[in-house]
Structure 1
Amino acid sequence: MSVQGLNDAIARMRADGMSDVAITAFTHNYHQWESDRSGFIAEENVKPLKQLPSIAEVMTTISAEDAHEALAHTAFLKLNGGLGTSMGLSKAKSLLPVRLHKGRPMRFLDIILGQVVATRSAQGVDLPLVFMNSYRTSKDTLQVIRRNRHFKQTDIPVEILQHREPKILAETGEPVSWPENPDLEWCPPGHGDVYATLSDSGILDTLEKAGIRYLFISNSDNLGARPSSSVAGYFAQTGAPFMVEVARKTQADVKGGQFVFDKTTGTIRLREMSQVPKADLAKATDIKRHPFFNTNNIWVRIDALKAKLAEYNGILPLPVIRNTKTVDPTNPDSPQVVQLETAMGAAIGLFEGSVCLEVNRPRFLPVKTTNDLFIMRSDRFHLTDTFEMEDGNYDFPKIHLDPRYYKLIQDFDERFPYGVPSIAAANSVTIEGDWTFGASVKFFGDAHLADPQNDPDPVTRRDRAYVRDASHVGPRGIEKGDW
């Protein structure tokens, strides 16, 4: 790598008005990337975490008074910088409608605001809410917040603005140039940037002055990460400076990041799947060997975080993660770039006495793809008046929608004009090819629709259809009497 490449990137950041903290963080990540291109964490160097306290076990040790006291001193921080480009979105992902509530389309953002307002009312707490927006999500997000007549917050800012950094050419280490769309020359530094952003913004001092001791951080696309007095109470009771909520893996979670015990440092650390050598993937994805995954629901004591930031001059030295993409995500022929990112949960290794807590599955309901959105919009869920995404057992069917026709949200919505079919009785759903669905369609068992590419009318619309396993009801998995 050339020194000139880093210098050019720094010059671009200064011209863009990036702070010294942002530039220092980028410089740290760039040097780390230069010195260790692999970034791998080998299985032989770690030990799996298998026995952890669960919220179900510890709830009986927390009094209602202590739980309420902890929540009364907690602030809620939502990471809201993502655009959902993998689903074809160009605005904040949190503005995507999730489902109807009393006839009204509810977006992620509406549900988050509803959860906070409902908790404030029920618990009698202030519960400040802050969004970490990016330069692309700030305007639209603030517009929605201002229009919500139920949500009020005056003394504490509702936004801190995430940093941004240049995308780096994979071959040369120089900042990429893309005149066709200069915005695509920039990227966020990953959610690990939350700590530098908190340091830069000065909001930690503001929160402390308001009597806030604890910060609960989660992703805006995880509607299960609701305010919880029980979890807040347990965190306060432990006296730990840092806590991560983890959940027990199913086969659907094998790609999720995991916390492991580092044999070299003697600390807990986060290992993302991108940091696992290929030779170790089988062991790393074995859910018996590594039974827990990272929900990215983080609790941190503000005084401990301020002390740690002061120790490292405002920049936590987190492991860098290489995210290799093309400069234009929609154009596979555009130049290959590296986005230098860090993960929020990786900070666990910096705080002595950090802990993990096993939580129930309802606290992890993310939407990363249209497959996830399909479940969220289905009859598996009910959105309660307190804005809880409620399901019977949270053991969801495996969904596979043909990415050629359902990956992008516009294509997805066009093919489900009456809403997604019923999956209450489905074990799995596989849709191959281009199908458009009518009203009141129901999926049963291992529902499977084969690609109708040789059908004279491949784009099919029918109401009240029953879709099951093709082996039981015909070559295309359709109940013949109803389709």
Structure 2
Amino acid sequence: MHDHKLDDSDSRAKTFLKRKDTQAFRERTKRDALNELQHELEKLEETATGEFREEIHRQFEGFTHLFQRFLQEEGPSLEWDRIQKLPDDAIRDYNSLPTPNGEEVKAFLSKLIVIKLNGGLGTSMGCHGPKSVIAVRNGLTFLDLTVQQIEYLNKTYNANVPLILMDSFNTDDDTQRIIRKYKGIDVDIQTFNQSCYPRINRDSLLPIAKHCDIADDIEAWYPPGHGDFYESFRNSGLLKKFIKEGREYCFISNIDNLGATVDFKILKLLLDKREASPLEFVMEVTDKTRADVKGGTLIKYEDKLRLLEIAQVPKDHVDDFKSIKTFKFFNTNNLWIKLSAIERVLEENSLNMEIIVNNKTFEHGLNIIQLETAVGAAMKSFEGSIGINVPRSRFLPVKKTSDLMLVMSNLYTLRNGSLVMSPQRMFPTTPLIKLGDNHFAKVKEFLTRFPAIPDLLELDHLTVSGDVTFGKGVTLKGTVIIIANHGERIDLPSGTILENKIVSGNLRILNH
């Protein structure tokens, strides 16, 4: 009996020492990793010339800080059991907000700037150049529609709301060329660039770039997510400029969210002096549906409201996170933030956004990581934060061609750059559309298979897979499933009406 006990404590001590060894080893490798990285960055910096060198130096400082935090923070950034229940007043109902009158609106608009996140390329939809220049409707692009919306605001209310685009090194050149055509339009358009960081080899944790000529080796660099907004906005000088001009809030949204228009009810909530203490950070959230289970959600943690993204969820709680019952809302990434608060948080150096590790594999097999942050994750660094549960119509993102199909269809009409759901649609939800990746993922292919977008007014659900082409004047109602198996082809003739139908096999009706 006695011997056994001794063995037991002995093995515990050994395990403890082993753990300590591992810990020490890890600390050492982290120190080495940081030193090695800094050494490599210094070598890279030497390849930059003139003014650009200063810029690179500042970028690398930002990146080193991010990398250091990446090394320190292992595993999920929160303990699941410490998530607190959301207080009743944490999320306001949009419908309960009062609407301002015309005079108020004009006064409120003088305090606002609009910022669109414009750093993304259209590559996932098979397009070259910035995503914002994909034609969405009547030949108008995301950028055209945004400029139209702001122009309409300024004209109607005799206001001067500026539009600010956050570009990345991927989108800046093209964007600059395109915005020249808005010269005669009554909108003050400003741009600034987010950071450009080196991609890191996943095994060595060292940059894959060999020099600082970014254009010459574009694969070696990346923009670090939209959480980079705060520092880049300050560094551009625009934050100071707009505070000086008496602007108080910025409204930030993704350029591809066509529902993110300037909202007067939210503006009134922010600028109405009757609020006890000013709101510094407002996040628009909307009800989760089955299609949104991966979207970030709002939680209360350590007595602060904060954004919880799927990347921060411990593996064994992912299903809980996806549950619509527990987490009813998700973040639309439409944010309203007080400018003076952004300045304060940056001065205090208290921005602490969770790091998103984005793993990618190049075609030739090289594994790399990108360290990114999300703009909404800064919420916990601000005082007076709330969510507003907005109608789904304020969240109309175009991430895939199935989203493009919705916004191009007769479900929406275009009014002054804004998409409004057709009054002929009987229910406010949008149909669920699934298009097969192999034949529909790229915009060009999608447009050849849909020479005209079908009538979707009464559609609930559409699944299309395989080699399927639609004629003109097609009407889809209820649930429609069209599947052409491998080697088969389906051509739907013009004028076809499908209601609650499954179509499969070969179907070719040729016009004689």
The Cα shift of 1:64 comes to: 5.2
Q: Which amino acid aligns with 1:290?
A: F
Q: Residues 348-402 of structure 1: CA distance to partner in whole angstroms, max 9, x if unpaired? A: 1001222222212221111111121111111111111x22111145411111100
Distance 1:50 1:371, change over 3 A: farther
Q: Which residue of 1 aligns with 2:73?
A: 36
User: Aligned partner of 2:159: which letter?
Assistant: V
1:33·1:320 contact (CA, 8 Å) conserved in 2?
Answer: yes
Contact conserved, 1:25 with 1:196, CA < 8 A, in 2? Answer: no
Partner of 1:196: 231
What is the match of residue 96 of structure 1? 134
Amino acid at match of 1:356: G
TM-score normalised by length of structure 2: 0.84
CA deviations 1:82-123 (Å, max 9, x no partner) are 0022112220000001111xxxx1110000000000011112
Identify the residue that residue 208 of structure 2 maps to in structure 1.
176
Ranges of 4+ aligned residues in structure 1 off by more than 6 Å: 178-181, 477-480
Pairing partner for 1:87 from 125, 137, 142: 125
The answer to whether structure 1 residue 307 and structure 2 residue 341 are counterparts is: no
SS in 2 for 1:436: strand
Residue from 190, 197, 201 that aligns with 1:158: 190
Cα–Cα, structure 1 residues 116 and 20, in superposed 2: closer, same or farther, change >3 Å? Answer: same
Q: Distance in 2 between matches of 1:307 and 1:59?
A: 30
- Tell me the CA shift for residue 35 of structure 1: 1.9
Residue 244 of structure 1 deviates from its aligned partner by 1.2
Question: Counterpart in 2 of 1:424?
Answer: 457
Q: Indicate whether 1:438 and 2:476 are aligned.
A: no
| Aligned residue-pair number | 461
Larger Rg computed on CA atoms: 2
Structure 2 unaligned residues grouped into runs of 5+? 1-29
Contact 2:151 2:187 in 1 (8 A): no
Name 2:380's counterpart in structure 1.
349
- 1:48–1:404 Cα change, 3 Å: farther
Identity %: 30
For 2:127, give the aligned amino acid.
L
Give the one of 48, 52, 59 matched to 2:98.
Answer: 59
Which of these residues, 385, 390, 402, is aligned with residue 420 of structure 2? Answer: 390
Q: Within 2, Cα distance between the matches of 1:442 and 1:13?
A: 59
**Alpha carbons of structure 1 residues 394 and 183: separation in structure 2 relative to 1, 3 Å:** farther
CA contact (8 A) 2:122 2:131 kept: yes
Q: How does 1:261-300 map to 2 (within 5 A)?
A: 261-262=300-301, 265-300=302-337
Inter-partner Cα distance in structure 2 for 1:340 and 1:355: 27
- Structure 1 residue 210, shift from structure 2 partner: 2.1
2:115 maps to what in 1?
77
Other structure's SS at 1:59 match: coil
> Measured at CA, do residues 478 and 285 of structure 1 come closer, stay the same or move farther in structure 2, by a change above 3 Å?
farther
Cα distance in structure 2, aligned partners of 1:111 and 1:50: 37
Residue 24 (structure 1) shift: 2.8
Maintained 8 Å contact 2:108/2:271: yes
2:401–2:440 contact (8 Å) kept in structure 1: yes
SS of 2:463 mapped into structure 1 = strand
Deviation at 1:58, TM superposition (A): 1.8
C-alpha change, 1:447 and 1:338, in structure 2 (3 Å) is: same
* Residue number in structure 2 paired with 1:321: 356
The root-mean-square deviation of aligned C-alpha atoms, in Å, is 2.6
The 2-side partners of 1:127 and 1:26 are apart by 33
Instruction: Flag the structure with more relative contact order, 1 or 2, with Cα contacts below 8 A and sequence separation at least 6.
Output: 1
Counterpart of 1:240 in structure 2 is 279
Is the Cα–Cα contact under 8 Å of residues 410 and 457 in structure 2 kept in the other structure? yes
Instruction: Give 1:20 deviation, angstroms.
Output: 4.7
Matched residues in 2 for 1:407 and 1:281: separation? 27
After TM superposition, give the deviation of residue 149 of structure 1 in Å.
5.3
Cα–Cα, structure 1 residues 65 and 378, in superposed 2: closer, same or farther, change >3 Å? same
What is the alpha-carbon distance in structure 1 between the residues aligned to residue 506 and residue 434 of structure 2?
15
Contact 2:161/2:187, CA 8 A, preserved across alignment: no
1:424-480, Cα deviation, whole Å (9 max, x unpaired):
12111100101122211221211111124343xx26362112234445xx6459899
CA shift digits 1:276-329 (9 cap, x unpaired)? 2231112111112111111111111111111111111xx833221111112x4x
What CA distance in whole angstroms lies between the structure 2 residues aligned with 1:225 and 1:234? Answer: 17
Partners of 1:158 and 1:113 in 2: how far apart?
Answer: 12
Shift of 1:77: 0.7
Whether 1:409 and 2:446 are equivalent positions in the alignment is no
Question: Is 2:118–2:254's contact at 8 Å kept on the other side of the alignment?
Answer: yes
- Post-superposition offset of 1:183: 0.3
